[in-house]
Chain A
């Protein structure tokens, strides 16, 4: 402020030059940012839909209702329907323990929770193969009792639970920590029991963050590729999820069908982003 006034007194043209320079720099930076995002984000997104619809709408829908595609869609929905609620319940309970109480080893626990973020999805799949695979530690036991986990639906669900494990809890912990424990303490002094305190005071305060965590968890659960790929066995119509089905179609050079199925996942991603923006808008308003 001061410098600007001083400049004004001495040399008005310098200010004009400076502001024109500011404006050029602004649009240059915006331009570079948009170009980069366009190349890396927008173009791939457009490519998915463009390739999917390249050969017409009919072929597009044909690829989606084909039995193997249907089976993949169903399996993906089932997997998400199991993994997401389990991780949501865990997330809420763990966030309660971690955010509302002080205890030794909290940081260690947080690190453990972060492991699925830090570990390659391939390793996430691998650990379950090593545990439950035919040559795995529990392999002989499972074979004896005729239980199939690897190359079957339970393995896919387990691997998905592993990789989507941190989403809800990681979303909730900072929110709960920010809100502190005052309101809960107030509820207790007013005679509320634990459940009443949680459902009437804590939950309403974290609902948007919870929703956000759940949709992120869901997006990942439906879209997970690496971990699921390792444990699935790629049996068409049986153990293929949508992303695995996309891979098979793509590797068979059936590009249109591959992108048609992929476009479902892209739509899911866009829906996730829309909900996320809505949640952010909601929470900023409050």
Chain B
């Protein structure tokens, strides 16, 4: 057999664009991340372990995970509902509402942070009513959850919306001709179809919440052991010039993020594959 001839690509610029992409990715992403991993290993294992298992640090993991999870669940429920309303119903001002859903993507987190803090402070627009009921929102875990709900809101809506749009109403009509009630139709026909999208949106909102800093730092009050989130703790270590400690905690957080990223990709790959077969 003849030697394989050099495979030539039809469109030009592959070598150039690929080379540029690899170099740029390495400079901006890979080298800095490698620096982080290297720095984290400058402490010995015992020191690292102590840093990342300090009670104050563990408390911040728990807080961050818990509040992010609650916020993501709230977003999964209300985000799905909002997507449903935006896709299925016609009402005045829908276009504006639809555009506003993306505000948390566009609004700088610091602005969201101070605005939410002001609203939910004990004398704020909404905070005063909670105060009257004896509930403190700002400077507590509730405040953190509200901030994280705000920044995660668009993820679920924007994941579910296109899927709902593409969902052929024939399925619902078919189900209703077969005698299904509207509740059955929703839970047996619609929900299974949009569930992967809900889960993707949930995971994205969750991942975003885990790393969120700007909107939370104002409303949380930053009390050690109580309302101190992981990113804040990294900054605290940094301000004490404890670079190794900051890096160690950052690596733990990165680990969480990557596991989540991996799960999202795996999930999307699996649903894509499932759809291919059918």
Contact = CB atoms under 8 A, between A and B. Distances in A.
Interface of A: 1-3, 22, 25-26, 29-30, 32-34, 36-37, 39-45, 47-48, 51, 90, 93-94, 96-98, 100-101, 103, 107, 109, 111-123, 126-131, 133, 135-137, 161-162, 165, 181, 184-185, 188, 193-194, 197-198, 216, 219, 222-226, 229-230, 242-244, 246-247, 250, 255, 258-259, 262, 265-266, 268-270, 272-274, 276-277
What does DSSP make chain B's interface, helix, strand, loop or mixed?
helix
B218 A47 contact: no
B128 interface: no
Nearest to B175: A3
A255 B250 CA distance: 32
Interface of B: 9-14, 16-18, 20-21, 24-25, 28-33, 35-36, 38-39, 78, 81-82, 84-86, 89, 91, 95, 97-112, 114-116, 118-119, 125-126, 146, 149-150, 153, 173, 176-177, 179, 182, 207-208, 210-214, 218, 230-232, 234-235, 238, 241, 243, 246-247, 250, 253-254, 257-258, 260-261, 265
B111 A223 contact: yes
Nearest to A274: B99
B43 to A, nearest CB: 13
Given A1-B177, A225-B213, A230-B238, A44 B116 contact: yes
B153 A103 contact: no
What does DSSP make chain A's interface, helix, strand, loop or mixed?
helix
Nearest to A138: B35
Given A39-B126, A41-B103, A96-B17, A120 B32 contact: no
Contacts of A272: 106
Contacts of A226: 109, 212-214, 231
A255 B103 CA distance: 22
A225 B214 contact: yes
B36 A45 contact: no
Contacts of B254: 119, 123
Contact of A30 (B25, B89, B125, B247): B89
B9 A101 contact: yes
B24 A188 contact: no
A219 B131 CA distance: 35
26 contacts: A26-B89, A32-B81, A33-B86, A34-B97, A40-B149, A47-B125, A48-B111, A97-B18, A98-B21, A112-B30, A117-B208, A120-B211, A121-B211, A122-B213, A122-B232, A123-B254, A127-B33, A131-B31, A137-B35, A185-B10, A194-B11, A194-B13, A229-B213, A268-B106, A270-B106, A276-B99
